[in-house]
Amino acid sequence: MKRILSIQSHVVFGCAGNSAAVFPMRRLGIEVWPVNTVQFSNHTQYSEGWQGMVMPKGHISQLMAGLANIGVLGRCDAVLSGYLGSAEQGEEILAAVTRLKALNPDALYFCDPVMGHPDKGCIVAPGVADFLKNRALPCADMLAPNLLELEQLTGREIHNLAEALAACQQLRDGGVKLVLVKHLGRAGFNLDSFEMLLVCDEGAYHIARPLYAMHRQPIGVGDLLSATMLANLVDGCDPVTAFELTNASVDAVLARTWLDQAGELQLVAAQDELAEPHVRTRATRL
C-alpha cells in the first residue's frame, strides 16, 4: 500500500483541492492522508461567494509533529501540495517535505502550483505566487502547472508548443524531474481539444482529450489531474503510462459530468471508469 500526504484546500460542497483529489486517489488504491490548508463552504468561483476560513499558522506543522510522534511520517511515499491559504503555509509544507525526506529519502514532492486566475474567480493570498516561484519550485521533484502558471514560473510568454517545451526544459534544468502542463490552451495544436504536455527523462509527450460543451466548466479538474497522475506514478507506472491513464480517467469523469449536465465533477458517479479507465488515446512523443 502506497501513501500520499495531500496538503491543499477543502470544500464542503463540490470538488476542489482535497475534495477533488482524495477520493480518486483512494479509489486508485492509494492510502491518502489529507491536510487542509483552507476549509470553505464551496469553491471561490461561485458568484454568490463562499464562507469558511484559512487554517491558522502552525496548523500544518502541528499535524506533521503529531504524525512524527506516532512514528508514521516516514511511511509516506509522496507529498502533494495544491491551493495554499497563505505563503506561511507554504513554508510549513516545505518543512514537512524536508522532514519526510530525512526519514524516507525516496519520497517525492509533487507541487501543483496554484497561482490564481482572477478573471475566473480563482484568488490566492498575497505572497503565494512569489513563494511558489522562489521557494517551492527549487524543492519540487514534480510540477503540474497550467499554461499561465508555467509562464509565471519561468518568466516567459508562451504562445506555441515549442515555447512551452522550452519553458518546461527551463524548469527541468533547475532540478524538476517531471513537468506536467495540465492545460496547453493557446499553446496547443487545437483549441477544440483539451491538450496536455509531459516532459520528463523519457522525453516530451503530448496527449489530448475532448472538450465537452458544459453550461459551466467544472472546477477542480486540475486538482483531479495532479492527484491522479501522482497516484499512478506512486503505484509504479512509468511516466508515459501514468500520463495516458490520467488522461483517460479524467476524460471519464468529464464525460459523466457532461452527460449529467452537472456543475460539479461527478467523481462518485464515474468512479468505476476513473479507477479502471479505458485508454483510447496514446501519448505522442514530440
Annotated binding residue at 9? yes
User: Measured between alpha carbons, how far is 227 from 231 in angstroms, rounded to an integer?
Assistant: 6
CA dihedral (22, 148, 93, 61) in degrees, to 10, reads: -80
For residue 263, is pLDDT > 70?
yes
Stretch 223-227: mean pLDDT: 98
User: Measured between alpha carbons, how far is 186 from 189 in angstroms, rounded to an integer?
Assistant: 8
Three-state SS for 270?
Answer: coil
Q: Given this model, what pLDDT does residue 45 score? A: 82
Domain ranges of the chain: 3-285
For residue 198, is pLDDT > 60?
yes
Annotated binding residue at 57? no
Annotated binding residue at 177? no
Q: Which CATH number fits domain 3-285: 3.40.1390.20, 3.30.70.100, 3.40.1190.20, 3.40.50.720?
A: 3.40.1190.20
CB 83 within 8 A of CB 114: yes
- pLDDT tens track for 53-72: 999 999 999 999 999 999 99
* Percent of residues in the chain assigned helix, strand, coil, to nearest 5: 40, 20, 40
CB 12 within 8 A of CB 218: no
> What's the pLDDT band for 282 if we cut at 50, 70, 90?
very high
- For 43, residues 6+ apart whose C-beta sits below 8 A from its C-beta are 11, 14, 15, 16, 50, 219, 220
Annotated binding residue at 241? no
Annotated binding residue at 281? no
Q: Given this model, what pLDDT does residue 125 score? A: 75
Q: Given this model, what pLDDT does residue 120 score? A: 56
Radius of gyration for the chain, computed over Cα atoms and rounded to the nearest angstrom: 18
Stretch 208-237: mean pLDDT: 94
- Report CA 51 to chain centroid distance, whole Å: 23
Annotated binding residue at 144? yes
Annotated binding residue at 77? no
Annotated binding residue at 112? yes
Stretch 150-155: mean pLDDT: 96
Percent of the chain, pLDDT > 90? 90
Average pLDDT, rounded, for the chain: 95
